[in-house]
Amino acid sequence: MTSPTNKLHEMGQSLWLDNITREMLDEGTIERYIEQYSVTGLTSNPSIFDKAIEGGGYDAAIAAKSADGLEGEDLFFELAIEDLRRAADMFAPVHSSTGGVDGFVSLEVSPELAYDTESTVAAARDLHARADRDNLFIKIPGTAEGLPAITETIAAGVPVNVTLLFDAAQYLAAAEAYMAGIERRLEAGDDPAVTSVASVFMSRWDKAVADEVPEHLKNHLALAVGGRTYRAYRELLGSERWKKLEAAGARPQRLLWASTSTKDPAAPDTLYVSGLAAPDTVNTMPDVTLEAFHDHGELGDPMPVDGGDCEAMLAHFEDAGVDTAVLAGRLQSEGAEAFVKSWNALMERIREQSSAVA
C-alpha cells in the first residue's frame, strides 16, 4: 500500500525534513526517511543545532575543535558543515537523478551580516566552498536588506534558499532578486543554471491572529495566503520574462512551504501538508509532522493554480480587521529578530559547551 508521503511525492511535491542532528545521521534516521518516506532534502536553522548541541551529542566534537583553537561562529560552522556534508552525500543520488533540481540541504549565513550585502555574499561563497557540495543551499533572508545579497550571490553562482518570506509580495520580491542574478550571469556569459528555492512561512499566520478573529476563521489564514502565493508563483512561471530565462537554461526558483508544523492543538497535525500539496513545490517539515503525515495524512486535490477561493477567504479576514499586508511585514520583521535571537542563543550554547567539555 502506498503511504501518504509517497503519494505526495508522486504528485510532484518534494518532501524535505526540517531537522538535522548528528544522532539522526549516525542512527540511520535520515536514511530511513529517504528510503521509506520519499524525503528528498532537508533544511536546518540555528534553533535546530542549538537543541541538538544542548543534548550533548556534539560534546566530543566540540572538545576536539576547541582544543584546536576554534570558537564561536568558526566552531559552529565546522560542526554544521560536517553534518550537512554527510546529509548532502545521502541526497546526492536524488540531486543527480533530478538534474540538480532536488536533493538539497541548507545552511544559513550569520544574521550579524544582515545589513551588509558585500559581507553576506562573501560569507555565502566561503561557506559553499568550504562545504564543497553542489547540493548545498546557502540560506539568505528575503528582507529588503537581504534582496541585493540574493542577486549578488546567485550572480556568483552560489545556490540560494531565500528564507523568511511570508506572502505573495515578498515572494515576488525574492523571485525578482533571483531572476536579476540569473540575468547578470547570462550577460557575463556564465551558466544560468543556478538553483534556488523561495521559502514562505505558513503556520505563523494562523498563530498571529488566533486571538483576533472569529472561531470560524481560525486556522484558515495561512492556507489562504498560501493560495495567493501559489497563484503568483504559477503566473511568474508563465511570464515572458521567465520563459526567456528558462529557454536560456535557467532553472525555476521553486516555491517552498516552511513552518509547516501545526501550532493549534485543536487543528489537524497535518494541516499545512494536506492543504499545501502542489506539484513543482517543496514542503519542509519537522520529523513529528513528517511522521504524522506518513501515518495518517490525507491527500486530496492539489492546490488550484488560480488560488481557488483564497481571495474570498482573505476578504473575510480583512472584514475581521486583519490587514494582511501589514501583518506580512510584521511577521517578517519578527522572524528576522527571532533569527538573531536564535543565533545569539546558539553562540552562547557553543561557549557554554566549549567550557564544559574543556
Secondary structure element (H or E) that encloses residue 98, with its range: none
Q: Is the dihedral of CA 6, 284, 74, 136 positive or negative?
A: positive
Q: Which residues pair with 257 in a beta bridge?
A: 200, 283
Hey, what's the cell of 50?
Answer: 542549538
Q: Which of 51, 139, 218, 243 is catalytic?
A: 139
Cell, residue 319: 472584514
Neighbours of 64 (CB within 10 A): 12
Which residues have CB under 8 Å from 165's CB, separation 6+?
Answer: 142, 171, 174, 198, 199, 200, 201, 332
User: Taking the CB of residue 338, how many other CB atoms lie within 10 A of it?
Assistant: 15
Active site residue 244: no
Query: What is the DSSP code string of 174-225?
Result: HHHHHHHHHHHHHHHT------EEEEEE-HHHHHHHTTTS-GGGTT-HHHHH
Helix, strand, coil distribution of the chain in percent, nearest 5 = 60, 10, 30
Residues with active-site annotation? 139
